[in-house]
A and B are shown apart, each in its own frame.
Chain A
Amino acid sequence: MSRPSGVFKESYLADMGFIQKRFHLVGLLLLFAFLSTLPLYAGDFYTSLFMLIFTFSVAIMGLNLLTAAGLFSVSTAALMGVGAFTASFLSQPPLSLPFFIVIPLSGIATMAVASVFALPALRIKGYYMLFLTTATQFTIEWILNYITKNVPGSVVYIAPMSILGHEFGMIEKYYVFLAIATIMGYLIAHIGRTPLGKAIVMIGEKDYAAHIFGVSPLKYKAIAFAIYGLYAGVGGAMWGYQIGLATPEHFGFMLSWEMLGVGVIVGGVGSYVWGSCLGTVVMIAISQGITIMVSRLSVMMPWLGPTAFGLRAILYGVIIAGILIAEPHGLASLLRKVKRFFDLFPFSY
């Protein structure tokens, strides 16, 4: 990383700030201008798609941090389920809490659940984590099914978002989601630049070597797990408010894998905000795009019959592989290249 010339910082905080040059600010403002005017001209379909992107971005931010700590987890979807079920419990009578209390509380409750399941995980790392979190995923799914065993379809409902009796429509919900995603994004970016965030990255490489430098792997793995749980819980609660109901089936094992494989790895491990957001965009936009494409294809080529839906998975895999061949460190490195290009603009280096 090169320090741009002509930039003079007067405090260390400014030097570590997120906005280093004027074009960073311009880019960020353009992005917010786009996102905040989107529901005015886009239809319901695209608005809800973007809400889904905000929801999963939040959950994937936590997963990205956990992956940076060297812990691979495939139980994100189950933890989102915990968040959604907690939101259902808190938002329905008898408690009937308003959404701005329900969402943080769901995050905290999921953080507690994640910490319980993290206890054995703190002693292992790397690929072994995949086995353990697989078990976590299925255990939580089973627990959610057990809680709702008397309900047909295991469905729980989440009260609609409202404030002082005024029920929120799609557009108002969209802005709430945008605000939550912005706050959570800022928070994780801030965690990333503190010494604590660096300690989490440090144990991700070689935890025993980090221990020699006084960074207790156990403690920082636990912190990473707690943050991961918090983000997954908030994401789950957002999901619940968007759909209005939740069943354990929504939070399946494949979704967990998709979030790790596409959301984090394609997005870029270690780039907590932009990597996660880009990964989520790929995860949702491409899967939606392919679904539309395949349904058109099956109309054009009726002889494919029901096998057309098998093509969806194949196409998805090919696109992901293609992205990873072009950008092995994820889409976040593409963003860095764009930044660098504008940084040095008339010159190439």
Chain B
Amino acid sequence: MSGLPILEVKDVSLRFGGVVALRSVSLSVNKGEILAIVGPNGSGKTSLLNCICGFYKPQSGRIFFKGVDITRMPIHKRMEMGLGRTLQTPYVFPGTVYENIMVGYVVRNGGIFRNLTYGAVEEARRRAEELIDFVELEPYRDAIATELPMGLRKRVELARVLMWDPEVIMLDEPASGLSLDERRDMARFILELNEVWGKTIILIEHEMNMVKDLAHRIIVMDSGRKIAEGLFKEITRDARVLAAYLGE
């Protein structure tokens, strides 16, 4: 299942004034695995994801993706290289669902005049329809995305990310605010993406049952540090993890 490291984070530190969000965090993500990052609120999980996708610039440390140093690369270049991420609060603009998904086409096909041809429109729409099929949004393809409930908006966002076919997909709390049924659907999508489509997935999640069932490997963070790494049964025995979650 797991192969060579596709993404490597080396000694990344991030500060906001006096607040230290990340203290020299290192990790590597292997190709084809599902890596879960867990930790209490404010432990730096989302900050780490933001550093990897380029939204925050870390003060020190380096990030390598497919062997290339991407620490100083702008966000859209990283996406073009094959990264993708969803947000904790899904971002959709007031347009139909298929329009929201089609937007992802411009990431790898940035040519302005190429984008205006009928061929490009047709291809973008065809791929958007394939992804609508995958995330099971067929009844909503003409619905205005901003009027949809949270669970469906998360699917719209996932489909949009898949539009540019990234190798590594970072999911920021894909199951938060979802009902049990929707959570099961989301877990099914994640498994299919990993096992059938061969995507590498970094998952941030508070829902421990989901993490236990999905993740091949788990990283536990607390106040900006990586405190444990391993399989579910290993980290649940780790004294530092128990301390972080339950207190001394």
Residues of A within 8 A of B (CB): 1-3, 11-13, 15-16, 190-191, 193-196, 198-199, 201-202, 204-206, 208-216, 219, 223, 270
Contact = CB atoms under 8 A, between A and B. Distances in A.
Given A1-B143, A204-B93, A216 B85 contact: no
A91 B204 CA distance: 63
B161 A213 contact: yes
A11 B93 CA distance: 25
A196 B114 CA distance: 10
Of B93, B105, B118, B124, most buried by chain A (CB within 10 Å of CB) is B93
B107 A215 contact: yes
A198 B142 contact: no
A213 B91 contact: yes
Interface stretch (B15-23, B26-34, B95-103): B95-103
Contacts of B55: 208, 211-212
A196 B115 CA distance: 6
Contacts of A198: 93, 95, 99-100, 102-103
Contact of A194 (B110, B121, B160, B161): B121
A198 B102 CA distance: 8
Nearest to A191: B116
Given A1-B143, A213-B103, A216-B74, A196 B116 contact: yes
Contact of B75 (A3, A205, A214): A214
A259 B169 CA distance: 44
B122 A11 contact: yes
B80 A214 contact: yes
B116 A194 contact: yes
Given A194-B116, A195-B115, A215 B87 contact: no
Interface in B108-133: 109-110, 112, 115-116, 118, 120-122, 124-126, 129
B93 A205 contact: yes
B174 interface: no
A166 B122 CA distance: 43
B53 interface: yes
Contacts of A206: 91
Interface residues of B, number: 42
B104 interface: yes
B51 interface: no
Contacts of A205: 91, 93-94
Interface of B: 53, 55, 74-76, 79-80, 84-85, 87, 91, 93-96, 99-100, 102-107, 109-110, 112, 115-116, 118, 120-122, 124-126, 129, 142-144, 160-161, 164
A13 B126 contact: no
A15 B75 CA distance: 33
A193 B144 contact: no
Contact of A1 (B106, B144, B164): B144
A204 B80 CA distance: 21
B75 A219 contact: no
Given A191-B116, A194-B115, A211 B93 contact: no
Contacts of B91: 205-206, 209-210, 212-213
8 contacts: A196-B115, A196-B116, A205-B94, A206-B91, A209-B91, A213-B79, A216-B75, A219-B110
A190 B116 contact: yes
Contacts of B100: 198
A213 B104 contact: yes
Given A195-B104, A198-B103, 7 more contacts: A11-B122, A12-B121, A195-B102, A195-B106, A198-B93, A211-B76, A214-B164
A211 B103 CA distance: 12
B121 A202 contact: no
Contacts of A2: 142
Contacts of B143: 1
A213 B122 CA distance: 21
A212 B106 contact: no
Of B76, B143, B161, most buried by chain A (CB within 10 Å of CB) is B76
